Structure 1
Amino acid sequence: MSSPGVQLDVQDKYVVMDNGILQVTISNPGGIVTGLQYNGIDNLLAVENDETDRGYWDLVWNLAGSKGTKGKFDRIEATSFKVIVENEEQVELSFTRMWDSSQEGRVVPLNIDKRFVMLRNSSGFYTYAIYEHLEEWPAFILDRFRVAFKLRKDKFHYMAMADNRQRCMPLPDDRLPYRSQTLAYPEAVLLVDPLEPEFRGEVDDKYQYSCENKDNRVHGWICTEPPVPVGFWQITPSDEFRSAGPLKQNLTSHVGPTALAVMHSVHYSGEDLLLKFGTNEPWKKVFGPIFIYLNSLSNGGDPLSLWEDAKEQMAIEVEGWPYTFPVSEDFPQSDQRGNVSGTLLVKDRYVHDDNIPANGAYVGLAPPGDVGSWQREVKGYQFWTKTDEDGYFCINNIRTGDYNLYAWVPGFIGDYRYDVIITPTAGYDIYMGDLVYEPPRDGPTLWEIGIPDRTAAEFYVPDPSPVYINKLYVNHQDRFRQYGLWERYAELYPDGDLVYTVGVSDYTKDWFFAQVTRKKDDNTYQGTTWQIKFKLDCVDESGTYKLRLALASAHASELQVRVNDPDAISPLFSSGQIGKDNTIARHGIHGLYWLYNADIPGNLLYEGENTIFLTQSKSTSPFQGIMYDYIRLEGPPSSDENKRP
């Protein structure tokens, strides 16, 4: 039966949207969601919290020139309220905070317009925001911004973010100092006296539930308390407004119970992803809409079926993108957008004589920049897809603007960029034809370690220490999400560092997933040197060999390469200090991607046994280290250009 339509009640301190299915109460004029009434529950949000700490947009910012990634927290409270649309089919509300020079140094120099939309017959509501920095306004730095919802801890105990990543969760009270022990950083605690005994001895850490943008479509919570099971879900139907491309990792849901829609963060990247604005830099961007979806069971069914229903709703929202209902002129409709298609091929003569279809490649449009710059791009929009088995791609509903086309291909190192700027226009299709990526390659492969897929997932990930367990990740494909794995290296290699012998060792068993520091007895740390041993039947002493080092992550590290002389004062190659992504501490399997190419003169190599020494020299914390994606040694270029190994 159809609902009576959307009703709006504007009061002195609150604004209430009601479509007969749910009722949303928002502070006036602050634009903070204070109440969410649904299916017999008077408020799904954390009633024990202050009203400003239930459902809100927030950001962290800092003054220009500030160092690091810590800044000023701002739970964005608007100062003005306006009804944009009000009829039985739709209500759209605007809560704005406008900046002026009297606020300089105290308030982030942005105009912020928070929007909330409710539709008829919809079991949920939408929110989006428009950020604007005008020319001649002060320079500043943005660290992160997101939407946060905090739910009732007495009702929501089951969290789900993927088919294989869902569980009953501890209570926030279990993290209190007298019930838990803080571990190496405040976000991680060992539950020593939880209210529910089943959680005793487990680690709780919000970073264990991070997710890549490309997979971060729906997550949330299930309430199994009477009167009926209820689900609260945060659905993100598009990544176009998220920073840094499809592989960027962000937080999702975690103990609280909390559900986050992260638009931008520096997690798993560090200072490289800070948004830094100059004084003469105008900027405007729309974030969202995202959908807050509520569902319930009326017939006593399995509460986990609410997750299946949420996934179905997510597919509907994705199919409906770009939405037709947002009224803001800054959100273009489908007929105001363009499309780009083509075919990506790979040319590597040492793999195949002919061009190879780039099967499963990631192809995207992002603001113009250098090769691979998309993973550090934070101010514009990005649009990504994957190729089919023939290398064909089609990117739809692209905002008008100037872009480079970027790509990377699993199975091949490096990044592709189409050098000519592309400008999709409203309603038009651009066909690119055949694009050919030539990955870095000088000569035939002599040996390789790993799979070039931008992660360290194929390498050996140990079991966690028995005292640092998250039960969800026991015998799980994401076993790298367990806490404290960095400590396992020294336990597994107590008397010396890793030695890998080409042709004998197995990288899935014998190559530790991260080259971390080693903790010494005096609680200091030392760098580590890994060895790769290999044989050469013959050596071209006048030729140049190439060592390709693709890194999946780096944190405050320096990678040095030496060949056949571990004591050489000067390394053959040094990366210098690189990385601030903190992936090791935050249970990721990759951060930002790095590719280094080191020339090895043939006269440094021997016929017979050789050793490459890989030293990570920085050593002031347990979290410094490198994750390798893939390593390859190439021989000198073949005299026959068409010869394959």
Structure 2
Amino acid sequence: MASPAVKLYVEDDQVVMDNGIVQVYLSNPGGFVTRIQYSGIDNLLETRNKSGDRGYWDVVWSVAGSTGTTGTFERIVGTSFSVIVENEKEVEISFTSKWDPSLKGEKAPLNIDKRYVMLSNSSGFYSYSIFEHLQEWPAFNIPQIRTVYKLSKDKFHYMVVSDNRQRFMPLPDDRLPGRGEELVPPEAVLLVNPFEPEFKGEVDDKYQYSSENKDLMVHGWISSQSQTDPFVGFWVIIPSNEFRSGGPVKQNLTSHVGPISLAMFLSAHYAGEDIVLKLQPKEPWKKVFGPTFVYLNTLLDGDDPKVLWEDAKDKTKAEVQSWPYDFPASEDFQKSTQRGSVCGTLLVQDRFLSDEYIVAEGAYIGVAAPGEAGSWQRECKGYQFWSKANEKGYFSIKNIRSGDYNLYAWVPGFIGEYWSNVLLTITPGCEIDVGEIVFEAPRDGPTLWEIGIPDRSAAEFYVPDPNPNYINKLYVHHPDKYRQYGLWERYAELYPNEDLIYTVGVSDYTKDWFFAQVTRKKEDGSYQGTTWQIKFNLDDTEASKIYKLRLALASANVSELQVRVNDPGQDPPLFTTGVIGKDFSIARHGIHGLYWLFNIDVSGFFLEKGVNNLFLTQTVATGPLARFQGIMYDYIRLEGPNPFSAIKEY
């Protein structure tokens, strides 16, 4: 039986796409999604909201020279509507917004083309946008680009982010004064008098549901069943990461109380100002964001509502396999024939672990804009394409847009970054085989001691139980217990009189190394920096040799880490990072932000035979957010001297 034809109805103030399964209403010419009809339900979106506050694209922007991660919030309002494709199998429509100099200071200097696509026999619709900044336009900054869907709070109560992160959620009203008590930061709210008593005493915070890009492919909500309405699933499917910034482990928001579902394309969360897109004077820029897919499903009578999640995962796999889509009509979205691929095998060289090359199993390998080692973390203007090496170190990165790239990689279990400064030029249909490439892991000498696992996360360290007055029940007895609110406050409770002291060979980093080196709250309510100690024994030392201290950080937030050896008053310190980082990961339960690696020469002159002390001081504790200033360690290693190194006399 033939599928019903896709129909398009154009009226003065609205446009309707209808394929017989779902009907999507959009304002004309604004391009806001105002109504989604499905499975007999008149509108899945929140009808109490104004029509422009239900389904929309938005951007946050600021003038050139601005600092920080905030700016002017702007919903993207179309000023012109056009039909791009209209036939029985497909409808694609466009809502464009043009910029001109008369709008300077009022709107972001961007041409934006919002596209919506509906296909026949498809239970949902697609959305993508083309953002363009012309060379002659003003320089400016973009901290955020996203799409937002605000669902009916009367219908959608069960939220799903992953297999082990799903639950019934509080109402948005529970966060309001009188029912909720705002905490610090203000996104976190203690529910003191919620409508449903089961939520009383819980903390609700949208950042507790963040996910890494590599895992953030589908999330959404399941509605409650009523006498008139069936169970319905509303899912945001993001089939590719190519248009998202920051690489595979960059974290982004998903769904949260509202009920709200997001598709985040660019955000400064867990990275800070380093990943704010800053267009320079006379810099042209164009990028396609999406398409993403809003998928709707419903139940047969008697089924468990959670089968909607299983179905959504299956649908996501199918969408991923269909990428890049062949239906977008914009020439700016490259089809599969316009793309190329890169493959090869990654090996690791660490001569103090093995005389042979080590297979880089599980390595993350990607192509991103030309830069330097690790620059992909902060890159936000272009596209990135990533893959994971198999058990033989082989990788294949497919469907890369035409353009110029560098090859980047990192390998769990090894510190540092692989980077090739050889320009990879991708052309339509190319298949580039780079052969065997070798990552020379940072290493000067044998390991004398190490703390942690080099995996760019602090999750292996000691994460305390939360204050029972500030819990999220989802994360009780959950592997991601670091997502509980207020864990930074537990440090001073666990170490009331002196800071952490770790003894190599005696202490256990899973129990004795707090997950974050945070500030300490004093009796007067102010905060102070902290100094952690690592005690270690050396059987012998060589004063004329260089030892190497490797400090890999999983996060830094307005912090300065100073290193001293055997003298807590050493002035100047042996090493300082200077003030680094603004990723705010401690406050946002992220367990990691941007990765930092510091390789520090330690003269044998400073070391002693027998017991030694390494002092790690985080000095900064200023301002209203001092409680969140601190660092998370990924991994620390002290290496013995390289037999070929020597130092100047002291």
**What TM bracket, shorter-length normalisation?**
over 0.9
User: What number of residue pairs does the alignment pair up?
Assistant: 640
**1:96, 1:111 within 8 Å by CA — same for their partners in 2?**
yes
1:643 corresponds to which residue? none
Q: Which of 632, 636, 640 pairs up with 1:635?
A: 640
1:330 corresponds to which residue? 332
User: Given residue 91 of structure 1, which amino acid in structure 2 is its aligned partner?
Assistant: V
CA distance in 2 between counterparts of 1:403 and 1:238 reads 18
2:488 corresponds to which residue? 486
CA displacement, residues 294-329 of structure 1 (integer Å, 9 cap, x when unaligned) = 000032210011000000000000000000000100
Whether 2:385 is the aligned partner of 1:391: answer no
Q: How is 1:250-289 mapped onto 2 (pairs within 5 angstroms)? A: 250-289=252-291
2:629 corresponds to which residue? 624
1:124 corresponds to which residue? 124
2:5 corresponds to which residue? 5
**1:460, 1:511 within 8 Å by CA — same for their partners in 2?**
yes
CA distance in 1 between counterparts of 2:65 and 2:603 reads 43
Secondary structure, counterpart of 2:303 in structure 1? coil
- How far is the alpha carbon of 1:638 from its aligned partner? 3.6
CA displacement, residues 16-70 of structure 1 (integer Å, 9 cap, x when unaligned) = 0000000000000000000000001000000110000000000100111122221
1:541 corresponds to which residue? 543
- How far is the alpha carbon of 1:639 from its aligned partner? 6.1
**1:61, 1:71 within 8 Å by CA — same for their partners in 2?**
yes
CA distance in 2 between counterparts of 1:185 and 1:247 reads 23
- How far is the alpha carbon of 1:3 from its aligned partner? 3.3
**1:450, 1:630 within 8 Å by CA — same for their partners in 2?**
yes
Aligned-residue identity in percent: 68
2:505 corresponds to which residue? 503
User: Given residue 203 of structure 1, which amino acid in structure 2 is its aligned partner?
Assistant: V
**1:444, 1:638 within 8 Å by CA — same for their partners in 2?**
no
Q: How is 1:222-233 mapped onto 2 (pairs within 5 angstroms)? A: 222-226=222-226, 227-233=229-235
User: Given residue 257 of structure 2, which amino acid in structure 1 is its aligned partner?
Assistant: V
Q: Which of 355, 368, 374 pairs up with 2:376?
A: 374
User: Given residue 558 of structure 2, which amino acid in structure 1 is its aligned partner?
Assistant: A
**1:3, 1:21 within 8 Å by CA — same for their partners in 2?**
no
Whether 2:410 is the aligned partner of 1:405: answer no
Unaligned runs of 5+ in 2: 646-650
1:601 corresponds to which residue? 603
2:77 corresponds to which residue? 77
CA distance in 2 between counterparts of 1:549 and 1:261 reads 34
Whether 2:41 is the aligned partner of 1:36: answer no
User: Given residue 158 of structure 1, which amino acid in structure 2 is its aligned partner?
Assistant: Y
- How far is the alpha carbon of 1:569 from its aligned partner? 2.4
Q: How is 1:192-203 mapped onto 2 (pairs within 5 angstroms)? A: 192-203=192-203
CA displacement, residues 155-192 of structure 1 (integer Å, 9 cap, x when unaligned) = 00000010000000000000011101001121000000
**2:529, 2:617 within 8 Å by CA — same for their partners in 1?**
yes
CA distance in 2 between counterparts of 1:638 and 1:238 reads 48
User: Given residue 532 of structure 2, which amino acid in structure 1 is its aligned partner?
Assistant: W
RMSD over aligned CA atoms reads 0.9
Whether 2:157 is the aligned partner of 1:157: answer yes
CA distance in 1 between counterparts of 2:3 and 2:33 reads 23
**1:336, 1:399 within 8 Å by CA — same for their partners in 2?**
yes
Q: 1:27 to 1:573 in 2, by over 3 A?
A: same
2:574 corresponds to which residue? 572
- How far is the alpha carbon of 1:541 from its aligned partner? 1.1
User: Given residue 467 of structure 1, which amino acid in structure 2 is its aligned partner?
Assistant: N
- How far is the alpha carbon of 1:547 from its aligned partner? 0.4
User: Given residue 451 of structure 2, which amino acid in structure 1 is its aligned partner?
Assistant: I
Secondary structure, counterpart of 2:403 in structure 1? coil
CA distance in 1 between counterparts of 2:348 and 2:186 reads 46
CA distance in 1 between counterparts of 2:185 and 2:486 reads 11
User: Given residue 371 of structure 1, which amino acid in structure 2 is its aligned partner?
Assistant: A
2:66 corresponds to which residue? 66
**1:228, 1:300 within 8 Å by CA — same for their partners in 2?**
no
CA displacement, residues 441-472 of structure 1 (integer Å, 9 cap, x when unaligned) = 11110000000000001000000000010000
What TM-score results when the alignment is normalised by the length of structure 2? 0.98
1:441 corresponds to which residue? 443
User: Given residue 114 of structure 1, which amino acid in structure 2 is its aligned partner?
Assistant: K
1:432 corresponds to which residue? 434
Q: Which of 349, 366, 369 pairs up with 1:347?
A: 349
Answer with 220-229 or 34-43: which moved more. 220-229
CA displacement, residues 336-363 of structure 1 (integer Å, 9 cap, x when unaligned) = 1000000000011001001111000000
User: Given residue 103 of structure 2, which amino acid in structure 1 is its aligned partner?
Assistant: Q
Whether 2:85 is the aligned partner of 1:47: answer no
Q: Which of 610, 613, 635 pairs up with 1:611?
A: 613
User: Given residue 552 of structure 1, which amino acid in structure 2 is its aligned partner?
Assistant: A
**2:370, 2:421 within 8 Å by CA — same for their partners in 1?**
no
CA distance in 2 between counterparts of 1:105 and 1:121 reads 44
CA displacement, residues 411-444 of structure 1 (integer Å, 9 cap, x when unaligned) = 0000011121101111110000000000111111
2:585 corresponds to which residue? 583
Q: How is 1:211-230 mapped onto 2 (pairs within 5 angstroms)? A: 211-226=211-226, 227-230=229-232
2:473 corresponds to which residue? 471
CA distance in 2 between counterparts of 1:453 and 1:562 reads 25
**2:519, 2:527 within 8 Å by CA — same for their partners in 1?**
yes
- How far is the alpha carbon of 1:2 from its aligned partner? 4.3
- How far is the alpha carbon of 1:551 from its aligned partner? 0.2
User: Given residue 182 of structure 1, which amino acid in structure 2 is its aligned partner?
Assistant: E
**2:372, 2:421 within 8 Å by CA — same for their partners in 1?**
no
